[in-house]
Amino acid sequence: MENFVSWYRHVSQENMGGILTLFEDLQAVMPEFDSINLTESGENSRAMKIRFHGSDKDHETIPFRLDELSDGQRLLVALYSLIHLSPSQTSLFLDEPDNYLALREIQPFLAKIDEQCGETLAQAVILSHHPVTIDYMAGASGRWFYRDGANPVRVSTQPEQVIDGLPLSEIVARGWEK
């Protein structure tokens, strides 16, 4: 995340149309979210300020630096920015993007990724051990990577053992996928 502000500054200028949909999605997952501003913080540098509505309803917003947000809030800003501002037909590779997200935040993010694949994203590869992600991505859009001992990694559409009526995440948690 150390280069995120520079990346955001560049791609937001290249894809201004994506800003509106980015802000709409961030407001849906963080209702107090208002906007993102890049304010001057020295010669040739900008500081990212994420603005949130305060509890008083006088439309005053409170700016926070990126490092002042919680890990989950920072991750939501970064993930949705990747979805909306990446150049067209980009492939995203995300390693456990659900680590700092609440359960109620994971599924909308996965749904947005699924919606954008084939539209603005060429593909998304999401690596995860999270049960919600495993269950959501299982089936038609998910792939199962596994390794037996020191052998090469294999890919299939589902694990060897699947039990009807039991979520895939439960099968994995119990170690029954082999």
Reported as a pLDDT band with limits 50, 70 and 90, residue 132 is confident
Q: Say which amino acid occupies 175.
A: G
By C-alpha distance, which of 120, 113, 108 is closest to 141?
113
Residue 120 lies in a domain: yes
Number of domains forming the structure of the chain = 1
Residue 112 lies in a domain: yes
Neighbours of 139 (CB within 10 A): 10
pLDDT mean over 34-54: 89
Residue 18 lies in a domain: yes
Tokens of 51: 């603005």
Calculate what percentage of the chain has a pLDDT beyond 70.
97
Residue 107 lies in a domain: yes
Residue 173 lies in a domain: no
Reported as a pLDDT band with limits 50, 70 and 90, residue 57 is low
| Residue range of the domain that includes 19 | 4-137
In this predicted structure, the answer to whether residue 55 has a pLDDT above a threshold of 80 is no
The CATH number of whichever domain residue 92 belongs to comes to: 3.40.50.300
pLDDT digits (tens, 9 = 90+) for 143-177: 888 888 899 998 888 777 778 888 888 888 887 77
Residue 165 lies in a domain: no
d(CA 37, CA 136): 34
Q: What's the pLDDT score for residue 33?
A: 95
Q: What's the pLDDT score for residue 58?
A: 63
